[in-house]
Amino acid sequence: MIASLRLAPFRLYAVLDWFVPEKMKEEAESLRRARMFLISHLFGPFLGHTISLYILLIGPAPDAAWWIFFGIITLFWAFPLALKITGWFVPLALISVQNLIFTILWGCYHYGGMSSPLIPWVITVPLLAFFYLGSGQGVRIFVLAIILLNLAGFYLIYSLGHGFPTHIPLAQLSGLGIVSTVCASVYVSMMALYYANIAMSQSDLEREVKRRLETAAQLREATNEAERANQAKSEFLAKLGHELRTPLNAVIGYSEIMLEDAVIAERQQQSVDLKKIHNAGNHLLKLITDLLDLSKLEAGKMELFVETVDVRALVAEVASEYLDAAAAAGNALTVDVDPAIATIEGDATKLRRALVELVSNAVRFTANGTVTITARSDGEWLRITVRDTGVGIEQQRLATLFENFEESEDATTSKYGETGLGLPLSQRLCRLMRGDIAVESTLGEGSCFTIRVPVMLRAGAAAEVDEAAARDERHRARGSLVLAIDDDPAVLELLQRILAKEGYAPVVAASAFEGLELAKKLMPALIILDVFMPELDGWQLLKLLRKDAALRDSRIVMLTVDDNVKKGPALGADAHLVKPIDRHALLRLIRDLGVEPSPFGTRLLDRPAIDLLEEAQI
């Protein structure tokens, strides 16, 4: 299909579409008719004038009949401009058909009468009328009627005794016969070829759309199945977590009791050993807790508990927990809370958890340095910054720092979180609280993590959270379906590979119209849209997509080659991405837009999704 579309004269479209009124671009069929109209009006007069000039060559000096003939052929060139200015397609098409039959009959009347070499042109009249206006009954009756009316008019003039004027003797017109027939044939062939090309690509397009729709339905089923499996997984994990905690309880508790005994009895070696058991138990507990919480977050089951939080007390409490550990590594741990901050409305447990993660990391990766916890508020946001003078984090690792450890490509990332889950979990907790965590770091100089949460999570947030939850729910309902629209098959293939690997369900469209139809039928969670496409460019398509109420919740990302993206937000795009596509930037952007991959879907979805899509590729 891609190949057949490639045959279409794309460069020509750029010229043609300049004349097409915006309204006609919205529908594929009307755009096609407008293009037919423009092609015949831009090129037809060249063929017509071949005849008028030939007559000038063989005939006498130009008289009134010739000038009129020349004028009405030239008039056709005015139609594209008239269409551009007025936008009245149907009236213009009707006038054009009338002008055509008149031109032909005028030519016949003056140059040869009943045996005029211009007679073959009459067949172009119904042909063009059908191209412009379709083949409905009304159109057929109209075309027949105006042909008959014009014929009647000329017959009237003829029968009133004027006869056929003889500007040129009939014998001289034999040469014109050949020229005229060749021109008419060329004209008809040109229009027929163009029409055939369109008809072919259209039926290809329809087949392709149908095929993609089936694929999408199968994908949706696979997604649902994956979600059911994910539900079962969540329940299993919750049970498993409980089963693991109970014995772990005993390990941690009894080792702690024995440790206390050993310290009192001053049994040094035993204390050290018991401390190791105790630490290992705690480590394991944190791992299990993080895993369970991540799975709960992914399943959308993590709840917010909003209460009044004493920021100063919370920060002091966390800091006091790490004073010993910091001192042991020769670090100075300082706390700096703006005295103006009293309390915030937030989820204390989750905020504390995120802060603990950052402070424990800072203490662990800093030796003989400083760790500073700073809390500031601007009345809207509370920012808690944890800055250390530790080892720092490599630039390329910063990008993947908050990704789950299964996703990051190098195992060393796990060094930066106790389990590799701590940071992603903390970030997601902060996002759940409508905030975020940001990081800056310089290798060898230290790192700086900032938690940002709203000061008033409750004020109006209940509704907002509900609204957000409802929106998330809608997104979930659409699954992780991503529609990519681009005329470049290489880009589509790349997008498809990246998205499928990540657990999204990608569907691709190789043209704007196909994309529009797929979008309306599939209502994908996200649409990735190339700006430069023939037929209909990305901006126009964006406008059409945004007009559809059903697609209101679909996020749209524009793909551009430059940074000229001011148009995007105004037309309703959610974000833009500059080509060439950077995998990490793309995935980060998609997640930032709130479109999540089907949780654990990659494994379950991977096979069928990729197989199906490969089948659908031509």
- Interacting residues with another protein (CB under 8 A): 242, 245-246, 248-250, 252-254, 256-257, 260, 285, 303-305, 347, 349
Rounded least distance, CB 241 to another protein, Å: 8
Q: Write the single-letter amino acid at 121.
A: W
Q: Would you call 529 helix, strand, or coil by DSSP?
A: strand
Of the pair 182, 263, the CB lying nearest another protein is at 263
Of the pair 359, 519, the CB lying nearest another protein is at 359
Q: How far apart are CA 108 and CA 180, in angstroms?
A: 11
Rounded least distance, CB 252 to another protein, Å: 5
Rounded least distance, CB 239 to another protein, Å: 12
Rounded least distance, CB 262 to another protein, Å: 13
In this structure, what DSSP letter does residue 162 have? Answer: I
Task: Give which of 248, 338, 257 is closest to 287, Cα–Cα.
Answer: 248
Rounded least distance, CB 354 to another protein, Å: 14
Q: How far apart are CA 597 and CA 280, in angstroms?
A: 33
Question: What does the DSSP assignment read for 493-504?
Answer: HHHHHHHHHHT-
Q: Write the single-letter amino acid at 439.
A: V
Of the pair 3, 250, the CB lying nearest another protein is at 250
Q: How far apart are CA 21 and CA 24, in angstroms?
A: 6
Rounded least distance, CB 435 to another protein, Å: 17
CA angle 475, 478, 483 (to 5 degrees): 100
Residue with tokens 């800055």, as numbered in its chain:
387
Of the pair 247, 569, the CB lying nearest another protein is at 247
Q: How far apart are CA 209 and CA 207, in angstroms?
A: 5
Of the pair 253, 330, the CB lying nearest another protein is at 253
Start-to-end Cα distance in the chain: 7
Q: Would you call 452 helix, strand, or coil by DSSP?
A: strand
Q: How far apart are CA 481 and CA 332, in angstroms?
A: 50
Measured CA to CA in angstroms, residue 324 lies from 37, 363, 463, 515 at distances of 83, 10, 43, 60
Of the pair 274, 545, the CB lying nearest another protein is at 274
Q: How far apart are CA 255 and CA 258, in angstroms?
A: 5
Of the pair 260, 548, the CB lying nearest another protein is at 260
Q: How far apart are CA 15 and CA 77, in angstroms?
A: 14
Of the pair 80, 435, the CB lying nearest another protein is at 435
Rounded least distance, CB 276 to another protein, Å: 17
Of the pair 463, 549, the CB lying nearest another protein is at 463
Of the pair 148, 265, the CB lying nearest another protein is at 265
Q: Write the single-letter amino acid at 273.
A: D
Residue with tokens 């504390």, as numbered in its chain:
352
Of the pair 170, 238, the CB lying nearest another protein is at 238
Rounded least distance, CB 349 to another protein, Å: 6
Question: What does the DSSP assignment read for 199-219?
Answer: HHHHHHHHHHHHHHHHHHHHH
Rounded least distance, CB 437 to another protein, Å: 20
Q: How far apart are CA 549 and CA 107, in angstroms?
A: 53
Of the pair 257, 585, the CB lying nearest another protein is at 257
Rounded least distance, CB 380 to another protein, Å: 24
Rounded least distance, CB 285 to another protein, Å: 7
Rounded least distance, CB 303 to another protein, Å: 4
Residues 559 and 579 sit within 8 Å (Cβ to Cβ): yes
Of the pair 433, 508, the CB lying nearest another protein is at 433
Residues 125 and 104 sit within 8 Å (Cβ to Cβ): yes
Phi first, then psi: give them for residue 51, nearest 5 degrees: -70, -45
At CB < 8 A and 24+ separation, what contacts does 589-592 make? 589/557, 590/482, 590/504, 590/526, 590/557
Q: Which spans in 265-366 are helix H?
A: 268-298, 311-328, 348-364
Total length of the chain:
618
